[in-house]
Amino acid sequence: MAQDVDADSREAKVKAAIIYKLTNFATWPKGTFEKKNDPITLTILGNQNLFDEYGDDHELKIGKHELVVKFAASAADIEESHVVYVGANHSEDFFSTFPKTPEGVLSIGDSADFAEMGGMIQISIKNGKPVLKVNVDATPRGKMRIDAQVLEFSEIYKEP
């Protein structure tokens, strides 16, 4: 039991770091931010362990933007966000509420079919290592741009 908690905690730490790094490699559409230092809001849907990794005093920045982290128990609870992380058990809820990720929102999730469902970036842990899958059709549809450096080490998914 303690090993499961430790593994879950390690996985949450890894995913929190990956989400933060990915956010640094994303470009939002013009007009998303009124001021150059407006905060970037990350909403974590349904993964309390991941939310807890950020803590109340994380003081993280994305360029000149403070990173504000919120938790949502359901997709209906998601307010204005720039990044939404969708926990594995919440993909159906997210995509039934938002059939297409809204413009100007970077969607990241860890369900096995997140990219295929229309999400932008899927995170998997395979053999203890993170693996990314980027849906290259979803990002332009959401008016988002993912830096080529991320694409170089990611599995690419193109919608049929």
* pTM of the predicted model as reported, rounded to 2 decimal places: 0.92
Domains and their CATH numbers in the chain = 2-157 (3.40.50)
pLDDT more than 90, % of the chain? 68
pLDDT for residue 2: 44
Summarize pLDDT for 108-133 with one digit per residue, the tens. 999 999 999 999 999 998 887 899 99
The identity of residue 28, as a single letter, is: W
The predicted-structure confidence for 130-146, as pLDDT tens digits, reads as follows: 999 999 999 998 999 99
Contact call for residues 121 and 22 (beta carbons, < 8 A): yes
Burial of 43 (0-12, 13-18, 19+ CB in 10 A): buried
The string of pLDDT tens digits covering residues 49-70 is 889 888 766 788 898 999 999 9
Residue 3, pLDDT above cutoff 60: no
User: Hey, which residues does 155 pair with through a beta bridge?
Assistant: 133
Average pLDDT, the chain: 89
